[in-house]
Structure 1
Amino acid sequence: MQARFTRQARAELLAQTRYYENLRQGLGSRFRGEVEAAALRAAEFPLHGKASAGGTRRRLVNDFPFAVIYTEIAGGVLVHAIADERRPPAYWLARLPE
């Protein structure tokens, strides 16, 4: 099982990694590791994530106010967003395919 990231989700991951790394050395790496761990857990157990808008599921990221938003695909999950819990809910809905 694998977790694939959309272009927008990858951009969010990289931007937040840089942000946390600028706050404190090593924090960005820790953030990225926690996001990747959450995505891999989602891939292994896709139905364990809480049902969310647009037919997606969400899995919280340990120690950070973020959630991995994904849908199940053959062989794993497709991550649509690394959603900041402080942003308006479902800001990422427009990213989902019709």
Structure 2
Amino acid sequence: MPEIEFHHAADEEMKAAAVYYDDQVVGLGSDFLDEIESGLNRIRRFPLLSPIYDGEYRRYLLKRFPYGLIYRIEAQKIFIIAVTHHQRKPKYWIDRT
């Protein structure tokens, strides 16, 4: 299975969301991270399953939380460019490399 790599800003988005959820209800941040991990496992197994979102980027939608994983399939890895809330401005992440 391909390796997963996070853009540093996507990693920060994921951590900030987990802290936010844990501040709301103890343990909810862990649930969020568990769902992220579940999504990453699904992306690893079926990288082409998520629909194309913009150009070379695909978007996997989390089931329990209003977030998506924006990713690009590369030769030897899957690159997560953003962990984005559904209410955030669309494509704010587009200038990340």
Q: TM-score, normalised by structure 1?
A: 0.90
Shift of 1:74: 3.0
Where does structure 1 lack aligned partners over 5 or more consecutive residues? Answer: none
Moved segments of 4+, more than 4 Å: none
Equivalent in the alignment of 2:7: 6
Where does structure 2 lack aligned partners over 5 or more consecutive residues? Answer: none
Match status 1:28 vs 2:29: yes
Compare the two structures and name the one with the higher helix fraction: 1
Equivalent in the alignment of 2:64: 63
* 8 Å Cα contact 1:50-1:58 kept in structure 2: yes
Q: Any idea what the Cα deviations from partners look like across 1:7-43, whole Å, max 9, x if unmatched?
A: 1110001000000000000100000110121122112
* 8 Å Cα contact 1:44-1:76 kept in structure 2: no
SS for the counterpart of 1:3 is strand
SS for the counterpart of 2:95 is helix
SS for the counterpart of 2:37 is helix
Q: TM-score, normalised by structure 2?
A: 0.91
What percent identity do the matched residue pairs reach?
34
SS for the counterpart of 2:20 is helix
Aligned residues: 96
SS for the counterpart of 1:52 is strand
Amino acid at match of 1:29: S
Q: CA separation in 2, counterparts of 1:17 and 1:74? A: 30
Give the aligned CA root-mean-square deviation in angstroms. 1.2
Q: Any idea what the Cα deviations from partners look like across 1:46-76, whole Å, max 9, x if unmatched?
A: 1101101241000001200000000112344
